[in-house]
Amino acid sequence: MQQKIIILDFGSQTTQLIGRRVRELDTFCEILPYNKFPKDDPSVIGVILSGSPYSVHDPEAFKVDLTQFVGRIPVLGICYGAQFISHTLGGKVEKADSREYGRAHLETVDTTNPLFHGFDQHSQVWMSHGDTITAIPEGFETVASTKDVRQAAYWSPSRQGEAAVWAVQFHPEVFHTLQGKTLLKNFVVDICGSRKEWSAASFVDTTVAELKQQLGNDRVILGLSGGVDSSVCAVLLNRAIGDRLTCIFVDHGMLRKNEFQKVMDAYKGLGLNVIGVDASEKFFADLAGVTDPEQKRKIIGRDFVEVFNAEAKKITDAKWLAQGTIYPDRIESLNITGKVIKSHHNVGGLPKEMHLQLCEPLKWLFKDEVRRVGYQLEMPERLIKRHPFPGPGLAVRILGDITPEKVRILQDADDIYIESMLQYRCEDGEVLYDKIWQAGAVLLSTVRSVGVMGDERTYEHPVALRAVTSTDAMTADWAHLPYDFMAKVSNEIINKVRGVNRVCYDISSKPPATIEWE
């Protein structure tokens, strides 16, 4: 039986990060809505309560029945989770005099407490809350404090066979809590007793066996995008069922330069059975004159389904449709606040006319875990390390209407940018491309700027370069690219790409901006 930690999501922006940190400890975890704790599941070895945008005093605040797990298995409350435990069990939570946000230091910490083994005195932590715990429940003890937060951490020791409860008002999952990984390891491994059995190797072995049993001798269809998720999904399925997998790769004409052929060659090198479909004429015709970003997405999504379905129907004996859906897709799509953060092309059901069952081998993995599985499957590094690329392709990186000429301009500029990034080595010897979460060029085709080339005045388009660092794309910061790299790329784009006379660099973070411009 596979052990697991349950993370109850109260709506925090960093809930996924808690999950990733637990997985990094080679321990399986599942993120569930705050009110969906699985009763009578013997595989659950611990519970973590996440933060929340709400105050425990808000009428709409999320609440959970703590008796389902408190005293039965170890519990760790984080931020709102810590406040909710105190508030519910008889402590006091009040509005802080000033919002406690940012870096703080533990002035006192009981390093004999199991949760804080290995901690340094004055260790840096990250606070983010408007309320604060002013009194803890009877029978609980304070184990860490900061200058401004007396109850930075508290616990209820286990008594008469009952499991202990811990609570921290800071966020151990974020980078700025310097010993946060130590705290989570203490909880997950030492306190909850994780056997640390979750790994890329164990996932591949288990999933291949499950796929063989699930699919039997059936034929499966998979839509490839060229991205890491669908590629890893294809190789995993190929290992399980071989040539009973048929992959379909649709070229909508807005891929990167020479992308279609490069990806087709890479897939053939992996031994995959791939059908390539060039449908660019249809997409360009249907996009003609359309400038609204959402309308572009809808047209591309509709056309993709039409082209894919037409090709899939030729495979008359297929019974399954496989998708590279990963765990964050499903978590965002089931956001507990009921607000749609982002629409996912591979979450939301199957076209009814296809009459196929759904197969999602990667549905429990985070993006970094997908890459580790790719390495375990011995896939080419270039495929595994590929940056995320939007489903609509360059259509959402061209402001204004879409034409083959505009796509050509952007493909040429983007190719110079990405290839230069792949060739540039930083001072530490690492390739610049590998330091970046996502990069790409944007064509401002609705704007023209004045320039001078030779002795002639030009009136052409600007190109904006975008590069961000991130761990999961929920938040992102603009990458501080080396000046000599930016100067070389700008010069090369302007000199070599006909139709561009100005290059800009986007220094916006997410939030408030998004990674893509449209």
Supply the residues annotated as catalytic: 79, 171, 173
In terms of Cα–Cα distance, which of 510, 486, 472, 262 is closest to 388? Answer: 472
Long-range contacts of residues 158-164, Cβ cutoff 8 Å, at least 24 apart: 162/71, 162/72, 163/70, 163/71, 163/72, 163/73, 163/74, 163/75, 164/74, 164/75, 164/114, 164/191
Separation of alpha carbons 80 and 62, rounded Å: 10
As given in the structure block, the two tokens for residue 494 are 């302007």
Task: Find how far residue 110's CA is from the centre of its chain.
Answer: 35
- Distance CA(239)–CA(272), nearest Å, equals 10
Q: Which residue has the tokens 């561009």?
A: 500
Tokens 């309560």 belong to 49
Closest by CA to 165, choosing from 75, 230, 40, is 75
Report cis status (omega within 30 of 0) of the bond before 511.
Answer: yes
Phi, psi of 344 (to 5 degrees): -110, 135
Helix or strand holding residue 105 (H, E): strand 92-109
Query: CA 393 to CA 252: how far, in whole Å?
Result: 8
Give me the residues paired with residue 6 across strands: 30, 47
CA dist., res. 222 & res. 265, Å (int): 17
Cβ pair 226, 255 in contact under 8 A: yes
CA atoms within 13 A on the CB side of 193: 8
Rg of the chain over CA atoms, in angstroms?
26
Range list of H helices, 348-505: 367-376, 381-384, 404-423, 432-435, 483-496
Tell me how far the alpha carbon of residue 30 is from its chain's centroid.
15
Which residues, 6 or more positions from 488, have their beta carbon under 8 angstroms from its beta carbon?
420
Residue tagged 């297929």 (tokens): 318
Question: Are residues 119 and 106 in contact, defined by beta-carbon separation less than 8 angstroms?
Answer: yes
